[in-house]
Chains A and B, each alone.
Chain A
Amino acid sequence: MSLTLTAMSDSTVTSGRQQWSGSGQTLQPPRGPFISVITNRTTNLLIRGAMLFSVGVFLALVLNLLQVQRNVTLFPPDVISSIFSSAWWVPPCCGTASAMIGLLYPCIDSCLGEPHKFKREWSSVMRCVAVFVGINHASAKVDFANNVQLSLTLAALSIGLWWTFDRSRSGFSLGVTIALLATLATQLLVYNGVFQYTSPDFLYIRSWLPCIFFAGVITMGNIGRQLALYEYKFIQEKSHQD
């Protein structure tokens, strides 16, 4: 999860830059640019969105690779090209979706007025991401007897993920909604022939897709909430100032 790491180091670097900007300004000139940038809601939103987007793209690429592996266990020498073997627009789509989800979660939290308090720390987020990758890994590597079994297993794992790392009702309902919508969208795409599964087994993909989507939504929501924690602090500070 190097991207999240860099994201976090970014956000800590900001404080370092804050120092620069603080020392670069004398008493009279306008405010230190970085504080204002960070406290500026739109900019902050953009930064977070960019982080989430990159995380989403990265995860999409890696997980796609896992899925490709399921079909072919050994690769021809030109492996790297197979990373991008799926349609070019899939990773950006995943990135956009994850950015939206990651921004939506804290937003909903604040709308409902119940701030998320459960395990708000990066180690927990890391654990969540690891479990998410693990679920993908399992779905790619483990041979299941039939699709029902696969579906049930993945559903149990996803709900376990939610219970371990989220436990909020809003998170659950949002996850289910988005998962259903995403599955529907994918099916429509496939139906219209825009997108094709590599595997001829149609049911196989349909059986794991909702669960993977659900787990992904939970994960991205977790990351988004954690990122929003920084923004929350800044906004709080600003309101305090005002």
Chain B
Amino acid sequence: MFPSLPGGRAEQTHTLPESRGELNVNPKATLQLKKTTAAAFKGHKRPRGREITWPLNNRSLDAPRRPVLGRAVLPNGRELTPPARMTLRKQLREKISAAFYRHGLLCASYPVPIILFTSASILTCCYPLLRLPLPGTGPVEFTTGVRDYSVPSHEPQGDLGERPDWYRGPPVAYIQQVLVKAAVSPWDSSLVPVDVFRSPLGRVFSLLEEIRNHVHSDSSGIRSLESLCLQVTDLFPGLRRMQSVLPEHGCLLVSPGNYWQNQRELFDSDADLLKTIQKHEPKGLHTSATLRDLLFGVPGKYTGVSHYNRKRVVTYTITVVLSSYDARFLGSLRARLKQLHPSANCSLREDHMVHVHFKEEIGIAELIPLVTTYIILFAYIYFSTRKIDMVKSKWGLALAAVVTVLSSLLMSVGLCTLFGLTPTLNGGEIFPYLVVVIGLENVLVLTKSVVSTPVDLEVKLRIAQGLSNESWSIMKNMATELCIILIGYFTLVPAIQEFCLFAVVGLVSDFFLQMFFFTTVLSIDIRRMELADLNRRLPAEAGLPPPKPGPLRPREVPPPPRPSPHTITLQTPAFRNLRLPKRLRVVYFLARTRLAQRIIMVGTVIWIGILVYTDPAGIRTYLAAQVSEQSPLGDPGGAGLPPHLGVAPVFRGGDPTSTLSIHPAPDPTPLPENQSQGHHGPARAGLLPQAPPAVPQITWGAEDEEGWRRLSFRHWPSLFSYYNITLAKRYISILPVIPVTVHLSPQEAIETRHPQDTRHPPPPIPKVSADLQTDLTLYKVAALGLAAGVLLVLLLFCLYRVLCPRNYGQNGVSHGRRRRGDLPCDDYGYSPPVSEISPLLLRGHSMDIECLASDGMLLASCCLAGQIRVWDAQTGDCLTVIPKPGLRRSSSSSGCWEQRDGWDGVGGATEPECLCSEAHGSYVGIDGLSEEEEGYPLRRRTAPIRPTLFNDQPDLTPLIDTNFTSQPPSHLLSTPPRAGFDFGGLVERAYMEHEPPSPSAYTSPSSASSSPPTGAQLQRRPSLGDIAAALPPERAPSSGPQADWESSVWAMELRGNLIAAGRSSGKLELWDAVEGSLRCSNEDGVSGITALAFLNNRIVAARLNGSLDFFTVEINKPLCLLQYRGAPLRGSVPPSPCYSSEDVISCQLTRSVQCAHHKPITVLRAAAGRVVTGSQDHTVRIYRLEDSCCLFTLQGHSGGITAIYIDQTMVLASGGQDGAICLWDVLTGSRVSHVYGHRGDVTSLVCTTSCVISSGLDDLICIWDRSTGIKLYSIQQEAGCGASLGVISESLLVTGGQGCVSFWDLNFGDLLQTVYLGQSSDGQGVRQLLVLDNAAIVCDFGSELSLVYVPSVLEKLD
């Protein structure tokens, strides 16, 4: 399983950092990148490229050893040394870890087969689910014969065949409907429309009387309806308004007579029957059964109770609900009714009994908690998957996680079904809880663990290591959950037991899926990321073939087409996860996904579906009615019409049955069905065309047979629910209807008239058919729906316009950080719409600024030209200019005017206070100060000290180099700006190539600048270096300007009013910041000073050769130490101790640690009495400042140290080229946490009290929780922005970008503001950024400095 390849760790540790170190160059400076890499790799390309491919394979030998050897890795990153005797727990832990490791390797090695296998097993386990019935709330029917009916027994019987499961035990009730069809016949022209239904309805009372009083007596006794019917006790409390209508006690017997409390008198005295009926109808749209349907027992439009009834037949039912079935009683009732009201042509079948089973119905009330749980579930999933990070496709992985959970649920149900456990619980209800119990935690933990493994490892090793790291906690969690569920199982409540069973099976299958499915998906994802990563950031190796896959990975995903090697593509704005405000994000989301339209569309579809579903009969019958309406007018043949749809045939009153029916029919045997049909058929054909319907004819068709089918399927449940009886999961038996035909004579109709009935005018437009009226509601509903939809669209549109800025859409480039060119801004980078924060530009340097130091009050900067300027950090005044020896003054004087321009633009608050003026161009250096006093009287407040100082100044006039202009300045300017403050990679390369190094080797006389030499410079002038000698600048005047060119300032620190400058020549100089005089210098070392730390009275200098020098600054007049600088000048300035100018300051080397590190020191930080150095040799060392004794050597990084943060609270954070960030305890030297956060170097690190902020070469800013080491979130920046960081307050982060600084809210990662520093859009990046105590930010911007005040923070200070 483990690939056995030659190679070892020793080689890898050398080659890998080197390759990464080269990437250390900030990618934003593409120009320089090209140059340096081209120079650096000349002649090195091939071997390096091959070396790159090695470590991918080599690691595989080395990494598996870890778990096998038992060196388990604790969560905090500390390695356990194998103890002599391991406890059982540890052994177990190790075994688990090793097993997981092997499993991870397996998964990552064979992704495709494993995914196939997993899918197959999921499908297999889900197969039994096919047998489960599909969910639905519609009722289920079962038909049995009436004749041999007996109440089914409770016990399931064997050979029942088609009997459904629910058909057990007695039904809730038996429903006996008496279907009454009544008509006044023959129709008389003297009759008013009300007569159509008044007298037919009046007949209901006599029928009711008949039914109620029916008694059947035979040998077994006397039975009446009272003894058989379903006795109801009380209406449901919430139904007060139904009280008058529905029977409150006694038999549940429902008929239209209920409208009038079953009292004929009330009916007779009712002036307006329709109004009474309508009174109880609910307003608005309703989907369940209405009271009218309940009482009439037929759908409203079939009752015929309306003024526009053209057929003049009234239909209604008397519904008797029986609790027990007595065939004989019912038979006698049927016979009696039939005898009384014979239905001549009735052909209804009477031998079938329909049992209707009702599913559990989900009402709105049940839906609300269900919806709530689902909302909670989605919130849970959202918050969980949001934490997935550092992967190629976040959404893909989130989807995989959800799929894992869902399919594990399906698997559990399937498995339980397979083993004979049928789910009785409502799946929809328990599902959210199952998901919550199973949880997404493991998946997230796995992801986090895998992505926090070193990125330079091979994919499968990363997977394996990540798995094994988390194996113990995963197993522990799983065991805990199983225990909890087991406890639940012992509650012995069947429902809970079933739930627990599901949960257990779900947990196990979830574990299985996590291990096989998710891990594999993760490995594929990470592999994709690696490939994309490789493609994106391998400019130097672009020509080389991609790294060979390991032998166990025969099928490699072909790399996607890579961009051209030297351009670093910026991600499209959509994928950059700039933290926009939530509000905007929501709007963008809506706009992007066209959510509103889709929701409206889906809503419309659902709404239509509901309409169709709840009233399926409505449309069908509407169509039928349409057809039947046409038939009398149109084709008499009625060609394809089924017989039962035909309208009433018209007879001219001579029909024997109709005449017979007026009298109580003595004929007990109705005509056989065939006969009556045959009789009517030809009659209809012959008579239809001409005759208007004069005699209402009552027909019985197949649709009457089971008339209840036309009712809403909620008809019976709602009827029973009024009496607090549920039909859910139970069934009712519907007995065959008893048809009753009633014919009334016109006289009878007239007699029963209410006096007011005749006053009703005849319907004005009788042509407006009933169909049309019923249709009107449909149209109304449609119109309402349309209007609602339009309104919704308008509302959303308005919302959209309100929430969304106007220019959204036109200005599609950027949302958060706007591009430079888009802004309307004046000449000084002041752009009102974007920000009220206006940067104060400090101009004066002629070249790019190299070093920046501040102590809060003063600000010192040093440019490539070697000029040091001191500024007032409060106002931005230029206080002092320390020119580079040998440079001509005029170069800086021009800068002063720029500076003044800058101030004017900012608001004219400050007058030009440049210390040098163009009028005195011949004056140089410090002499300019005195001249300036006369020119600008306002500056006198600073003047009093100075004249006295000039006496002990060295005469600097010889420093003037009048020939400066003759030197071609072009190459100075063309010197590309260095890409980052971190010059570790460059230094190392220079160091490696010139071993043993001599500082003089770096000199390049032609470039009057700069900083550690770049490879390009070395390439250009390799031989000239020996010319210049390392001479201290004090002697420079005497030895001529040439001698001092090489010693540029590499490091600078500012404390009090002392500037400590470390030069490339290895000389340490102390300058007075206010006066610009050199106070002392030390040239004990010869190697260039790469970093300086100035704390109290100690200066620590790190040199290029890896040595560390401790200096002590001694002041000979300690009495003056307490003088407060600035107090006489500005009253509001908080005092800070400083050195008086009278003091004689000496700087002595107290100790020199020669071999502090094997490799160049890249970072040096000092705080809290400690000095911390980070080096290319992968270690961090902590020294005590007092005695310069090395306290700890911290090992843990697998790359050179690139960033270190230490503050007064002794928190030490270090970041390396391996992308790892370690937090250390300075007191004990132990590692607190160790996280991998970046692909590439960590470029800077800042801590607040609660979090650690890191930025890397991958342009990602990561925010970590300091105590737990959990990544809170990350911010993807534009390319080349992430080098500089600063924390202004606990929640305000500032980052430098291309010509701008951005402020971020640390709590939420939102971009608060972007401040553009200058107008020029040439993309000069901010490389250094200092946060001053007064909540101002200083950053370099090409040759300028920018002082940015943050108003909100400033306000808080006040």
Query: Contacts A25-B1352, A32-B1352, A69-B365; is A16 near B583 (CB within 8 Å)?
Result: yes
The reply to whether the CB of B379 lies closer than 8 angstroms to some CB of chain A is yes
Q: A25-B836, A31-B1355 are in contact. List 5 more A-B contacts (CB 8 A).
A: A15-B1312, A18-B1352, A83-B365, A85-B238, A123-B387
Q: Which of B370-378, B666-674, B782-790, B982-990 contacts A (4 or more CB under 8 A)?
A: B370-378
The reply to whether the CB of B827 lies closer than 8 angstroms to some CB of chain A is no
The reply to whether the CB of B85 lies closer than 8 angstroms to some CB of chain A is no
Q: How far is the CB of B1208 from chain A (nearest CB, A)?
A: 13
**CB <8 Å contact, A31 and B380:** no
A157 to B1248, CA, bound (A): 40
Pick the contact of A144: B286, B432, B493, B838 (CB < 8 A): B493
Pick the contact of A15: B365, B834, B1305 (CB < 8 A): B1305
A237 to B366, CA, bound (A): 46
Query: Contacts A15-B581, A15-B1307, A130-B376; is A75 near B365 (CB within 8 Å)?
Result: yes
Pick the contact of B493: A23, A25, A145, A240 (CB < 8 A): A145
Q: Which of B413-421, B724-732, B1118-1126 contacts A (4 or more CB under 8 A)?
A: B724-732
Query: Contacts A23-B835, A130-B373, A130-B377; is A237 near B1291 (CB within 8 Å)?
Result: yes
**CB <8 Å contact, A156 and B488:** yes
Counting chain A CB atoms within 10 Å of each CB, which of B363, B439, B1249 scores highest?
A: B363
Pick the contact of A25: B484, B583, B834, B1351 (CB < 8 A): B1351
The reply to whether the CB of A190 lies closer than 8 angstroms to some CB of chain B is no
**CB <8 Å contact, A234 and B1291:** yes
The reply to whether the CB of B236 lies closer than 8 angstroms to some CB of chain A is yes
Pick the contact of A233: B363, B584, B835, B1250 (CB < 8 A): B1250
Name the A residues within 8 Å of B1249 (CB-CB).
236, 240
Pick the contact of A13: B582, B836, B1311 (CB < 8 A): B582
A19 to B815, CA, bound (A): 14
Offer 10 A-B interface pairs, CB within 8 angstroms, sorted by A: A1-B375, A2-B375, A22-B1312, A30-B1355, A74-B720, A83-B368, A117-B1267, A123-B384, A230-B1307, A240-B1290
Name the B residues within 8 Å of A117 (CB-CB).
1267-1268
What residues make up the interface of A, taking CB atoms closer than 8 Å to B? Answer: 1-2, 4-5, 9, 12-13, 15-19, 21-27, 30-32, 35-36, 62-63, 65-66, 68-69, 72-83, 85, 117, 121-123, 126-127, 129-131, 133-134, 137-138, 141-145, 149, 152-153, 156-157, 160, 164, 230, 233-234, 236-238, 240-241
A81 to B286, CA, bound (A): 16
**CB <8 Å contact, B1310 and A12:** yes
Counting chain B CB atoms within 10 Å of each CB, which of A12, A32, A69, A238 scores highest?
A: A12
What 8 A-B pairs have minimum CB-CB distances, sorted nearest first?
A16-B581, A237-B1290, A31-B1355, A123-B383, A126-B380, A142-B495, A123-B384, A122-B383
Name the A residues within 8 Å of B375 (CB-CB).
1-2, 5
Pick the contact of B361: A18, A74, A144, A240 (CB < 8 A): A74
Name the A residues within 8 Å of B727 (CB-CB).
74
Q: How far is the CB of A158 from chain B (nearest CB, A)?
A: 12
Query: Contacts A32-B1355, A240-B1289; is A75 near B373 (CB within 8 Å)?
Result: no
Query: Contacts A130-B432, A144-B493; is A31 near B1352 (CB within 8 Å)?
Result: yes
A149 to B1331, CA, bound (A): 64
Pick the contact of A126: B376, B580, B721, B1311 (CB < 8 A): B376
**CB <8 Å contact, A73 and B726:** yes
Name the B residues within 8 Å of A240 (CB-CB).
1248-1249, 1289-1290
A12 to B584, CA, bound (A): 11
The reply to whether the CB of B496 lies closer than 8 angstroms to some CB of chain A is yes
Query: Which residues of B1259-1312 are within 8 A (CB) of A?
Result: 1267-1268, 1289-1291, 1305, 1307-1308, 1310-1312
A237 to B1356, CA, bound (A): 11
Name the B residues within 8 Å of A85 (CB-CB).
238
The reply to whether the CB of B37 lies closer than 8 angstroms to some CB of chain A is no
Q: How far is the CB of A3 from chain B (nearest CB, A)?
A: 10
The reply to whether the CB of B205 lies closer than 8 angstroms to some CB of chain A is no
Pick the contact of A134: B360, B433, B586, B724 (CB < 8 A): B433
A69 to B361, CA, bound (A): 12
**CB <8 Å contact, A149 and B493:** yes
Q: How far is the CB of A77 from chain B (nearest CB, A)?
A: 5
**CB <8 Å contact, B369 and A137:** yes
**CB <8 Å contact, B728 and A74:** yes
Name the A residues within 8 Å of B110 (CB-CB).
none
Mask, B418-432, CB within 8 Å of A = 1, is: 000000000001001
A69 to B288, CA, bound (A): 19
Counting chain A CB atoms within 10 Å of each CB, which of B361, B834, B1351 scores highest?
A: B1351
**CB <8 Å contact, B1305 and A18:** yes
Name the B residues within 8 Å of A66 (CB-CB).
369
Q: How far is the CB of B560 from chain A (nearest CB, A)?
A: 33
Counting chain A CB atoms within 10 Å of each CB, which of B726, B834, B1312 scores highest?
A: B1312
Name the A residues within 8 Å of B387 (CB-CB).
121, 123
The reply to whether the CB of B1349 lies closer than 8 angstroms to some CB of chain A is yes
Q: How far is the CB of A57 from chain B (nearest CB, A)?
A: 13
Counting chain B CB atoms within 10 Å of each CB, which of A16, A68, A137 scores highest?
A: A16
Closest to A72 in B: B724
**CB <8 Å contact, B372 and A62:** yes
Closest to A11 in B: B1308
The reply to whether the CB of B335 lies closer than 8 angstroms to some CB of chain A is no
**CB <8 Å contact, A127 and B365:** no
**CB <8 Å contact, B721 and A75:** yes
Mask, B380-418, CB within 8 Å of A = 1, is: 100110110000000000000000000000000000000
**CB <8 Å contact, A141 and B491:** no
Q: How far is the CB of A109 from chain B (nearest CB, A)?
A: 15
Closest to B1358 in A: A31
Q: How far is the CB of A113 from chain B (nearest CB, A)?
A: 15
The reply to whether the CB of B944 lies closer than 8 angstroms to some CB of chain A is no
Name the B residues within 8 Å of A1 (CB-CB).
372, 375-376, 379
**CB <8 Å contact, A153 and B836:** no
**CB <8 Å contact, B1313 and A19:** yes
Closest to A240 in B: B1290
Name the A residues within 8 Å of B488 (CB-CB).
153, 156-157
A237 to B1313, CA, bound (A): 19
Name the A residues within 8 Å of B1153 (CB-CB).
none
**CB <8 Å contact, B495 and A19:** no
The reply to whether the CB of B436 lies closer than 8 angstroms to some CB of chain A is yes
Name the A residues within 8 Å of B360 (CB-CB).
73
The reply to whether the CB of B1353 lies closer than 8 angstroms to some CB of chain A is yes
Name the B residues within 8 Å of A69 (CB-CB).
365-366, 369
Pick the contact of B368: A36, A62, A76, A157 (CB < 8 A): A62
Name the B residues within 8 Å of A127 (CB-CB).
380, 436, 439
The reply to whether the CB of B492 lies closer than 8 angstroms to some CB of chain A is yes
Q: How far is the CB of B205 from chain A (nearest CB, A)?
A: 28
**CB <8 Å contact, A74 and B363:** yes
Name the A residues within 8 Å of B1312 (CB-CB).
15, 18-19, 22
**CB <8 Å contact, A62 and B369:** yes
Q: How far is the CB of B155 from chain A (nearest CB, A)?
A: 22
A163 to B372, CA, bound (A): 24
The reply to whether the CB of B722 lies closer than 8 angstroms to some CB of chain A is yes
Query: Contacts A16-B582, A22-B1351, A31-B1355; is A143 near B718 (CB within 8 Å)?
Result: no
Name the A residues within 8 Å of B491 (CB-CB).
149, 152-153, 156
A160 to B433, CA, bound (A): 14
A30 to B1351, CA, bound (A): 9
